[in-house]
Amino acid sequence: MPERPKISSTELGTLWMTYQQKTMILRMLEYFIEKADDEEAKNIMTSLYEQIDPYVKKIIEIFESEGAVVPVGFTAKDVNKGAPKFMIMDSTLCLLD
């Protein structure tokens, strides 16, 4: 099997930004899922979380296979799940659109 070329710096930069965005969305979803009162909204957000999480793991794999540094991204340390619920929780799904 022929060796595949390394990804370009542009591709690496795009992956870096995508990783930052996706990890931020995951942290937001974790907060919203925990605070949601509406079971349907919670199910939708949980489903979205389950769709995004594998992409983040795949991006990590790409960085590692390329010998690149994996970005820190957003972690559980960046979210205070003990913070009071937003007053506009009904608009949560609009934020994810």
The number of CA neighbours under 13 Å toward the Cβ of 31 is: 22
**Angstrom distances, CA of residue 3 to CA of 6, 26, 72:** 9, 34, 29
The residue type of 15 is L
Q: For residue 82, what pLDDT is reported?
A: 82
The span from the CA of 52 to the CA of 36, in Å, is: 19
The mean pLDDT of 68-79, rounded to a whole number, is: 92
- Decide if 35 contacts 89 (C-beta within 8 A): yes
For 2-6, 22-26, 83-87, which range has the lowest pLDDT when averaged over its residues? 83-87
Q: What mean pLDDT value characterizes the chain?
A: 87
- Cα separation, 37 vs 27, whole angstroms: 18
Please give the share of the chain, as a percent, with pLDDT higher than 90.
Answer: 64
Calculate ∠ Cα 37-51-41, nearest 5°.
15
Mean pLDDT of 26-54: 93
For the chain, the first-to-last Cα distance in angstroms comes to: 41
